[in-house]
């Protein structure tokens, strides 16, 4: 069978454009695939060296037990001392530095001059109350022994960076149950807490609100983020008529603690703002 020259030219004219279109599709697809692979590798490299994913929790959900095991070594139980003039309730506290300074709530120690602090390992020490700010509900304790070498101070986080929805944990001694961990979220920030309905002795501005359960005995304990950093000190809860926790707990921001503690250690007191002095005087007059 013979194929004429004219028919061959016709086939060439028909199939050459089709072949060219097919080749362009293949090349375009290949280029897109190469670009995808390169971009994926760049993102993987950025994630591994931390240049892109700057917000990366130090602890995953599976490592929360390790977080607790670390922080609990810095948390103490606070109970009355035989030398105390008065102490309201047992509470919690945590280690501030290796010099023996501890932090707790002023309402926990009340008017006591000394208390007993009990560590996770069961060892107990006498601690003197060396500084108090009743308005911000902060108290500083100092272990009297000078041979404490195993103190593990907490690491502070920046409460100004706290966002609603972050996971947090409260560690303390609610109702005397030592080394208790409760978890939840940051419910809100910059709350103003008044006396009514809470255990706060004075109005507190700028409080951190959390739904991590805070009960009597948790006062003075740390509120910890997923990095194992203290972002607040558990202070108050809104109590229902039936008692117990309602999922409305409040903590003093770490930035307030960091600002006040050096002054409390040095001077034993912290000068309150004039506005708070006026408010406290008015409260006193009307009670």
Active site amino acids: 107, 137, 219
Residue 160's nearest CA partner among 224, 208, 200 is: 208
- Taking the C-alpha atoms of residue 71 and residue 124, their distance in angstroms, rounded to an integer, is 18
- Taking the C-alpha atoms of residue 279 and residue 272, their distance in angstroms, rounded to an integer, is 11
């Amino acid at each position: 069978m013979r194929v004429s020259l004219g028919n061959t030219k016709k086939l060439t004219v028909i199939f050459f454009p089709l072949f060219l279109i097919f080749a362009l599709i293949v090349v375009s697809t290949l280029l897109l695939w190469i670009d995808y692979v390169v971009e994926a590798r760049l993102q993987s490299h950025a994630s591994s060296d931390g240049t892109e994913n700057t917000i990366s929790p130090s602890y995953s959900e599976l490592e929360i037990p390790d977080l607790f095991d670390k922080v609990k070594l810095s948390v103490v139980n606070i109970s009355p001392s035989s030398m105390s003039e008065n102490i309201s309730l047992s509470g919690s506290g945590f280690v501030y530095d290796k010099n023996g300074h501890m932090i707790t709530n002023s309402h926990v120690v009340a008017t006591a001059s000394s208390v007993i602090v009990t560590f996770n390992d069961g060892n107990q020490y006498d601690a003197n109350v060396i500084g108090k700010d009743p308005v911000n509900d902060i108290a500083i304790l100092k272990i009297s022994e000078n041979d404490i070498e195993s103190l593990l101070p907490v690491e502070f986080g920046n409460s100004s960076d706290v966002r609603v929805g972050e996971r947090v944990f409260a560690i303390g001694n609610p109702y005397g149950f030592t080394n208790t961990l409760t978890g939840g979220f940051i419910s809100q920030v910059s709350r103003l807490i008044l006396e009514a309905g809470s255990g706060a002795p004075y109005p507190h501005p700028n409080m951190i609100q959390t739904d991590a359960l805070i009960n009597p005995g948790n006062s003075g304990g740390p509120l910890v983020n997923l990095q194992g950093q203290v972002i607040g000190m558990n202070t108050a809860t809104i109590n229902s008529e039936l008692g117990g926790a309602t999922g409305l707990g409040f903590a003093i921001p770490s930035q307030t603690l960091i600002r006040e503690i050096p002054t409390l250690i040095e001077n034993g007191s912290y000068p309150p703002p004039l506005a708070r002095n006026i408010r406290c005087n008015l409260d006193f007059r009307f009670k």
